[in-house]
Every structure is written in structure tokens, then in C-alpha cells.
Structure 1
């Protein structure tokens, strides 16, 4: 690593760093989003809040799924009601027992 710290030994190193920084920052390349989605997101737990008004079974299921899936499920519950979500869970459990 000593070679990369002294740019006089590796003269294009500042240009490589500049190119990488531009790739990260410029919206046309979307580099920072790529790094986050592919490397960082799986290690960061964001939005662990689950509505306490949901029944215990639904809260357990919502805590086990990803944030994106949780948002979709919460929209489904708002649209069709918690009973519809219970039916979906029971159908999934029945399907899982078959396999």
C-alpha cells in the first residue's frame, strides 16, 4: 500500500481517485446508490418499527421481512384489512407444510 500513498511513485493514482469520486457523486452514474444497494444495505438495519396496533402474529411476520417488503405488506393491510393479511399468512403456512 505504500506505493499508493505516494503519488510520485504511481503517477496516475490521483486520477484514479478523482474518477472514483466522480463515479460516486455524479447522479448520471449513480455509484453511491450502487455501493449502498449491493454492499452496505444488508448490514444496516433501518426502520425496525412495526405498528403496535397489529396483532402479535402479524408483528412477528413484519419484523422478519425486509423494509421494502414490509412497506408493501403494510399497504396491503391498509387497503384490504388485517383479516385479509391473516388469510394470506395461513395460506402461506399451508403451502409451506406441503413442501
Structure 2
């Protein structure tokens, strides 16, 4: 039974970085490369909210140390933000952040896309080719 709990502890330790960083990083790159603006908004909202959560966590660290299940609560919250079935990050941004920005007088009009010029498109394609090699292309080492 001891090995089972050791395995579960290691899986739990890997779940946080996977859910909070690895999957959102991958999904963000795929969102940039897609033609849909909806997924771009979801992932930009995720990084805004995740950054705010991280800063808040750093500031409240002495208090959060007294909550033994804080990491589990944070993991569940971030999973809700990340999972495409819920679109939690976009919901939080639309409901709370955008309203605060409007009250402060900040314009929340849609902006033009970053890849409007051919040179930007080439740069973006180079990055994607770098991180995702083409199928069938094998290089000898």
C-alpha cells in the first residue's frame, strides 16, 4: 500500500504543472495558429487570470500555508479555467475583468490581429515549424 501512495503523490505533483502550464502552453500555441478568435480569447484570458492568481498566491503565502488543501483547491480552480468544456477563463474575464475595465474607462473594443502583415505571418510560421516538426521528415543524428 505504501508504493501506491508514493505513486499517487508523484502523480499529484505532476498534475499541477501539467494542468497549469504544459497543456495551456500547447493550447495557446495551437490557438495562435488557428483561424478562430474564440480560442485566442480563452487562452489570453487564462494567462491573465493565472498570472493574477500567482501574484495573489505569492502575496498571501503566509495565510495559505495554514490551509492544508490549498494546492488541491488551486488545482481544481485552474482545471476549471483550462478545460475547454467549461471555458472558465473566458467566463471569469467576461464577467469580472471586462466589467472592471469598463468601469475604469478602459476601451474594450476588439483589436486587429497581430498577423496582419505578410512578414508577421512568416515569423509566426517559422516559430510553429520550429516547435512542431513536419510528419515524415526524419533527420539523421
TM-score tier (shorter): 0.3 to 0.5
Question: If the length of structure 2 is used for normalisation, what is the TM-score?
Answer: 0.28
Q: TM-score, normalised by structure 1?
A: 0.39
Higher relative contact order (CA 8 A, sep 6+): 2
Larger radius of gyration: 1
